[in-house]
Every structure is written in C-alpha cells, then in structure tokens.
Structure 1
C-alpha cells in the first residue's frame, strides 16, 4: 500500500524515527536519571518522587534481585497498581538484565497461576493488597522469591504510615495472608544498598517485557516485546505528540495524569516510558474508578496530558466535580484501548477545549500503531494515520492486499511489532505474515488520505473498557461449573464500557440460577471478564457442523 498518509502528516513530522538512539530501555531510563535528577518523576497523595530517587531505589532493588541468584533473561512478575514502587520495580528488573512480566493486580488465583507458570517467573514484586491471591497459588508456580510492597512505602515515614493504616485498618483493602518467606519492599532496598550492582549488557534484541494478552485458544499468551520494540514506540509517540507538546510553555515540565494502569501496555509506553524520555512527571492515580479521589488529586495539579479510555473520559465529563479541576493546561487527550464515542468526544471538547485524539494499537505493537494528529481540532471517528516508521495495510483472507475502498484485515509492520508470542510458535505463525506484518484480527478501511477506520472484528474478542476478553476463556471457565452443559459468550453493546460480556447457558441442572453463575465467575474471572448478562436457553444456535453461531446470540439482546 502506498504511504499516502505521509502527505497528511502535520508539518515537520518525520516519516521515520531512529530507534538506535538507545540500545535498550535501560539506556533510555539512565539517560533520564542523569538529565533530570532533581525533577519530580511521580506525584501521589501530596508526595513527590524525583528522578534521582527512582534511580537510587531501582539500582538498590536491581542489586537485591541480582543477589537472589537470578540470571540474565529470567522473568520477574510485577503485580501492582499505579504507585511509585511500580516504576522502581520496572527500572530495577530491566537494569538487572531481567524481563518484566506485567500482571493485572485484580487477577483471580486461577489467572495468576496460569501467567506465572507460563512466563516461568522466578520472582514477583507484589503489593500486599493482593498477597492473599498469591498465597493461594505459590505452591504451584515456579516463583520462589517474593518482594512485598505496601501502598505507603515511598511516601515518607509519617505519610506512609498513615496511608498504610488507612488502607489496612480503615478501608480494609488488605485481606489476611501468610507469605512467611516474603521480603518487604523497603527491606529489599536496604539489603540491595549493601550489595554490588553489576550492570549487564542489554541490547536491542533482548526481551524487555512479556505483555500478556488474551488468546484465541482461551489461554492468555505473552507478547514478547524486545527493548528495540519499546524504545521505538516511545520515540514514535514522542514525535507524534510534538504538535501538542509545543503548546506547553518552555518553563513548564510536562505533567501527565496517569490514570491508565501502568501494567497495561498503553500506560506503560505512553505514561511511564514517554515521560522518562522527555523528563516529564506522572500524577499517579491508583484507582481510576474512585472518581471523587481522582478529582481531588487532579485539583491539586496543573497538567498537560491525559491518555485514557473512552469509559473514563465519559465518566469524568459527567461527574459533578468536573468543575473543581483547572483544565486550562491540557493540550493533549489521547483516547485508546477502545473506540472513542462521538458523544463523549463532543462533550470533552466542549468542556475542556482539548479534543480527544483517538489512537489504535495492541499489546503486540507495543502498543501504538496509528493515531489522529495531535493538532486535530475535531473528532474524526477514525483511528488516524500510521505513526512514523509504521506501515499499515489491509489484507484479504489469503493475505493479499485489498483494493482501495474495500475493507480488509488491518496488518501492521514496524519497529514496534513484537518478536512473537512467548513459547508459542504455532500462535505466532497464525498472526505474522512471511514479510513481517502482524495481522490484528480487526477489519478496517482506509480513505484516500491514509486515515484508517475499524469497521468490524474478525476475532470473537470482546472489548470491555479497553481490556480484551476472549469468549473462549469465559466459556472454558463456565463449562467447568457443575450444572452447566454448554455455554457461549459474546459481546453486546454497553453504554459505559463499550461492550459487556453476555453468556448464554444450557443447563445440565435446572436448579442452576443466575446468582450461582455470578458467584462462580467472581471466584474465577477478574472483574472485566465477568458476564454482565446471563441468559438460559434449552439449546445454542449452531451450524450444521456444530459450530456455535455467536452472531445470532449477539443479535438477540
């Protein structure tokens, strides 16, 4: 496909980026530590953590992890919400020469066990709020070393103690657990300070992150993201942001609101790594669902950047506390993870004066592949143009490019595209073409200016508030439930989340109730994967060969 989009790039936008500026994310981060030592890197609950503090703490934790006898390339899981310990852990794992395995802290024991086993994680850095989940699976996974963080670890002695007391005793957010061999986060740092840190040689083709994403087989699989992939995407995003960033006064540090979970690749790249690259500061939001707390935090800051999913933009724009925040500094609102709705985009622009620019990407593309120009003044309804150095094409079922004006499967090639799925060459072969394109499973069109638009989904994936839910996984869990003969999961439109999970169940036991199913799903599936709608039928619609006709189930609400 001819790169028509290059003619419609904002003025001064490069066609390519040079990902060789840094041989690895380690180099990118250490450059930031040297360049911006005194600047705040993170702010949370009235406390500020500088680049120098992240540098010192991560070096100490890296030395501690190396002292456990782990070898270069070993996987270390990180299971935390947005707290300063998360970026410290990421920097430590990478600086020690290990691989970050991002884990959703809301995972159930079943989901956590699968991921730790699949990744072969030797160690985990986890916040105590979710330690009870880890306790249930620790005997069955290869994870032998546990570093246990608390919410207040990096907030200073007095503030930290108060926060920990409130979290544990007042809000009761830490269920009882027993992990006798775990080492407390601050103790690990103290031990690490007494050890020698040995800086390994980390290069572009070393693995940086295993980013788990749903599988068509119902099993979550790890997208292998190399240092080169993440460095490239960070630099691509930086170039793409420039038209907006130029509006920030020269004497102001870029301040981003970090409401996206950092364990999700969207937040990992656009908040954590991009801010490192430009010396920016992230205001950490540990729980974006707690909107009163979000607005209380936002009202304390002047900020410029807010990447988020449609669900959060909509909830914020409709919240009574919206007016308590000074939005005058906001120059870039990036929507990703799910489609941005026109009504949300209009309301956001009316209220803030800053349009939402919609982007598109996947865990497999580190994640950003396309985005609307950041100097856009209105909602386009498209996913925008391919980023510098990115090629996007539309393919038919046989892998041939479709003629202009025809819809086809969106396929992406560029320096941000993953190396493959972790230890799953069969799954990798299904999605990578012989000439290096990643087939996304999304069906799109492109106009004469090179703007892409998603029109359908080839895969049966359900997109709930930016998180992928694969029907097979929900079905696999439910068919193990006593009383369920068979079932099918589909996505149905949902005003808040974009889509919601609906399951249609054929009962083996007529006494099985909706409440039974909900309780079972609560124990086995993390929140966004749980069905919102449960329907019982005597049979499922099927093709003559017995394949469930999901489309029929979708059409009948």
Structure 2
C-alpha cells in the first residue's frame, strides 16, 4: 500500500475508484447520496442502478474495458448512475459540457474516440447533428425525471416536453432510452471490472494556448489520491455520514466531480444537485427550509445569490463549510458572504491537469487573498523564465508535483512533454508567490486566458473560429473586467470586407462557440499591435483597455 503521511492520517492512494465505490456501498448503503428535483437516491440505490447500467454496457453493446463513453448531462440523478456504471464496466468517462456547440462536441467526440454517448433529451439536437461523423455507435437518451416515481416522472417530463417546449426535435439511428437501458440491464448480472491505479478513469477536456481542447488523462490513482488529499484538507469540515452539501457547480467539471462524486460519496455524505444554478430565484427556492452544512461554489455565484433578497432569509445555522474554486475570490465577496451566512469561504487552487486540487485554505486557518497551502503529498515551487527555482516571496511560475498530476494529454505526447518535465513537475502557467508560512498567493494567471463565470476561455480558440469568417483579416480576443461574470470577452478585428458589422460577427460566434465564449464587445481596427515576428500583442490591447477603465473611474 502506498501512503502519504501528512497531517492527521495516512492517505491510501493505491486504490481504484471501484475500490472506493465498493467501500462506500458496504459502509453507507442506507445513507442518502444525491437529491435532485425532490427525489433522493441512497448510496445503495446508486449501487443498484449503476450495476444495471454496467450490465447493459457489458451485455447489450460491443463496448470493452478501456473504451470511451461520453457523458453529456447537467446535474441530474442520472449523472452519478451513468458515471459509476461506466467505471464499473471498465470504461473511460469523457465528461462533456452540455453547452457545447456542434463544432465543439464533434471535436471532443472525435478526439476521444468515444464509442458511446449518454445525453439529456433537452440538448440532444446538437449531438444528433454530428454523431454520424464520429465513432459513436450507441446513443443513450435520458429525460430529466427518468429516475423519479412513475407519476412524478410523467408529470415533469411531459411539462418539459409539451408545455415548456424544452425538448427540441432530434433523431439518432442508434438510439435507446435510459429507462430501457436499466430494464435490460436488470435482466443479467454485471461484472465489476478491476482497474489499476495507472488505468485512465476520466478524460477531462481542457482548452490550451493552442486553442485546441485537449483530453487530460486522469487515472484511477490521480482521482483517488486527490480525493484523499481533499478529505484530509477538509478533515475538520467534512464528517462521515453527517454532511449535506449544496452542489450547484456542474458535475462534468472536475472540481465538482471530485468533491461530490468522490469525497462526499466515499464518506457517506449527501449532495443536493442543482440542475440550473443560473436560475437564482429557482435555486434559492430549492434551498428554502433546508439546513445544509456545506456549499461549493465560485465568486460570481456567491455574488448572484447574495443579490437575491430571499437568500438572506435562508437557514444558515448548520452551514460550517463554504469552498470556492474555479476563479479568483474577491475580498468583498468573501466578507459579505461571511456576514450574511456566518461562514467563512475557503478558497483553493487547482487545474484540470491536477485532478484538480493543488492547495486549499484549511478550515482552521483561512487567509483571505491566498489559495491556502498545498494538500498533503503535494510539492510546489516557483521558477523564473529560465526554470530556476526562486525563494519565498518572489513571484514566478507555479510548478506542481504530486500523485494527483495527470498521466498526460490524450494522444498528445509533445503537449505532455511541454507541460510535465522528466522529474514529474507540471508547469501551471500561473504566476504565484509562496509566502514564508507556506500559503500560496496567485499574482497573475495564464497570461492570455479569460475566465468567464468560472469557465476558462482561451483566446486562440475564439480567434481561430472568427478568422474563418471570410470578411475577417485578423482577430485578437482579450478579457476585460465585468461585474457579473468576472470577465467578458472583447474582440478586436481587422476587416477584409468593409461591409462586416458587429452584429454579423456576433451571430457567427454564436453559431460556433458556447455562449460564455461569445464576445460581448467588438472593436474594429486598421491593424493590431504585433511583435517584430508578427505575433499579435494581446497584452498591449489589454493594457489599453485597463487604462480606459481607470480613466473612466477616476
């Protein structure tokens, strides 16, 4: 057994996710695990239902261990059933954003080589337009309330389809319904496929400076190690079988996946899934009358909730843990949250490539303005532009080494070598300072990345899409401050055709980019600033915008 001795206990990092799952089912079978839209599934229910799903995959498809299955679901009860079922069948889960456009989805399905797709009916029209151009041979379609009681299922699904018109027309040649899958899966037993810690469990796609989404290969060992690390970091704020956490962040995002599907599930704790956190009034209504103990979110979500008058009237008497990640937490937000709820926010730092948590503010030692201390078993350092180690309190690029660092990028050895060196150090691209007390302060981030409501937006991807427009000569995208989303995308363009308009380019972007990536502002220029080798200077454009904002606010 490989262990990490750090803090209050030894952390066993040799187990597979299946080992963790079996342990939770044996110990906490009757405990509630996930609740959504008024329906609760216990740990035992997840065990039974995921077993049926695994049986279907093994007995009614050609899928073999190691094959990839794409999961395109929001926070609904089907998500943990599907993911744990797929992992029990030995498949690799490809977490897929429900907001993807046809172009983005086609790239991820093709790049991963996914042979199956599980998709919510509400968004299935996007997939139906591109699946035939990929290796996907089996499509499983589920409706929102498929795991509710017959009466409630019929009511909710009918209202969504016929009253609210939330289910568009779609068609797949190889389509099967989720409930039919469970029924067929119940006919024969499944066999849990044992996996080693080196086997890939999840392909988690992330953007990059190239603008091409890459699949981070997260192994069983990576995810179990990070689960153990986070549980240790949360040791005083996550008691076995006693917690009730709110889960508004999407489970297809590795941060929420690790917290809710790994940490909380493995410790017999309960998560309330919020399918649409952008509906703040509906979100607050769901929380009324509940005495939750934990909350996982990010800066823009905290702000949105606090602007709702009814949020302040909720019962926060049991709330003792609020975790923040995904984007920078502002001091103002943290202070207002503590004043309103009586609970301090603990900010952490991580990235997809680290499964994702690198550091966290301990519950008994929160330092606002920092992202805490490294989780157990994690080494950090900062280096200069030549790779030389820097002393404490000196800003440099943050590098990370630990058992949670990914195996590499899927089918991209060169990109892997550029990110992880021969000694296992991962270059984060983020600028940081390590204080004398060990706390980390992020002083800048990847120089060109834009963060919109916690989602990473990479300029090269936007520029690549926009440059395909026949009326565009050059394009540059930057992030500018925005009160609601943290940042918004601004696009600078040089026209190839004088007739090009802002409305035309925005419409083009909406066809090819997820909504949060679509530029909110467009500025046309005669030319764009460049280096002597012709590289566009985004930083110069960004500095100009900052000066404009400072002049307005002065």
TM-score, structure 2 normalization? 0.95
More moved, 119-128 vs 527-536: 527-536
| Residue 420 to residue 203, structure 1, CA distance change in 2 (3 Å) | same
| Residue 276 to residue 15, structure 1, CA distance change in 2 (3 Å) | closer
Partner of 1:224: 217
More moved, 325-334 vs 399-408: 399-408
1:24 aligns with 2:26: no
Partner of 2:243: 254
The secondary structure found in structure 2 opposite 1:320 is coil
Decide whether the 8 Å contact of 2:349 with 2:357 is kept in 1: yes
1:288 aligns with 2:277: yes
Q: Distance in 2 between matches of 1:501 and 1:298?
A: 32
Offset at residue 403 of structure 1 (A) = 2.4
Decide whether the 8 Å contact of 1:446 with 1:452 is kept in 2: yes
Decide whether the 8 Å contact of 1:245 with 1:331 is kept in 2: no
Partner of 1:39: 31
Q: Distance in 2 between matches of 1:28 and 1:18?
A: 11
Pairing partner for 2:371 from 383, 388, 413: 383
Partner of 1:374: 363
Pairing partner for 1:119 from 85, 98, 112: 112
Offset at residue 80 of structure 1 (A) = 0.3
The secondary structure found in structure 1 opposite 2:363 is coil
Decide whether the 8 Å contact of 1:15 with 1:388 is kept in 2: no
Offset at residue 16 of structure 1 (A) = 6.1
Pairing partner for 2:344 from 326, 343, 355: 355
Partner of 1:3: none
Offset at residue 496 of structure 1 (A) = 2.0
Q: Which runs of 5+ in 2 are unaligned?
A: 546-554
Q: Which runs of 5+ in 1 are unaligned?
A: 1-5
Q: Distance in 1 between matches of 2:220 and 2:201?
A: 5
Q: Distance in 1 between matches of 2:79 and 2:285?
A: 22
Residues 226-253 of structure 1 deviation map (CA, whole Å, 9 limit, x = unaligned): 000000111111111112236xxx8x72
1:238 aligns with 2:262: no
Decide whether the 8 Å contact of 1:60 with 1:189 is kept in 2: yes
Decide whether the 8 Å contact of 2:398 with 2:432 is kept in 1: yes
The secondary structure found in structure 2 opposite 1:295 is helix
Partner of 1:330: 319
Decide whether the 8 Å contact of 2:50 with 2:82 is kept in 1: yes
Q: Distance in 1 between matches of 2:290 and 2:261?
A: 18
| Residue 199 to residue 469, structure 1, CA distance change in 2 (3 Å) | same
Which runs of at least 4 in structure 1 moved beyond 4 Å after TM superposition?
none
Q: Distance in 2 between matches of 1:300 and 1:55?
A: 29
Tell me the C-alpha RMSD between the 2 structures. 1.6
Partner of 2:130: 137
Pairing partner for 2:467 from 457, 465, 479: 479
Partner of 1:278: 267
1:72 aligns with 2:60: no
Q: Distance in 1 between matches of 2:318 and 2:211?
A: 43
Q: Distance in 1 between matches of 2:237 and 2:31?
A: 22
Q: Distance in 1 between matches of 2:313 and 2:165?
A: 29
More moved, 47-56 vs 439-448: 47-56
Decide whether the 8 Å contact of 1:16 with 1:389 is kept in 2: no
1:343 aligns with 2:332: yes
Q: Distance in 2 between matches of 1:300 and 1:417?
A: 40
The secondary structure found in structure 2 opposite 1:86 is helix
Offset at residue 293 of structure 1 (A) = 1.2
Partner of 1:555: 543
Q: Distance in 2 between matches of 1:154 and 1:254?
A: 23
Residues 242-283 of structure 1 deviation map (CA, whole Å, 9 limit, x = unaligned): 12236xxx8x72111010100000100011211111101110
| Residue 410 to residue 325, structure 1, CA distance change in 2 (3 Å) | same
Q: Distance in 2 between matches of 1:131 and 1:355?
A: 40
Q: Distance in 1 between matches of 2:435 and 2:41?
A: 46
Residues 457-508 of structure 1 deviation map (CA, whole Å, 9 limit, x = unaligned): 3441111122111110000000011211110011112222222111101111
Decide whether the 8 Å contact of 1:244 with 1:375 is kept in 2: no
Q: Distance in 2 between matches of 1:553 and 1:42?
A: 46
Q: Distance in 2 between matches of 1:200 and 1:265?
A: 23
Q: Distance in 1 between matches of 2:417 and 2:10?
A: 27
Partner of 1:392: 380
The secondary structure found in structure 2 opposite 1:370 is strand
1:435 aligns with 2:423: yes
Partner of 2:454: 466
Q: Distance in 2 between matches of 1:245 and 1:273?
A: 13
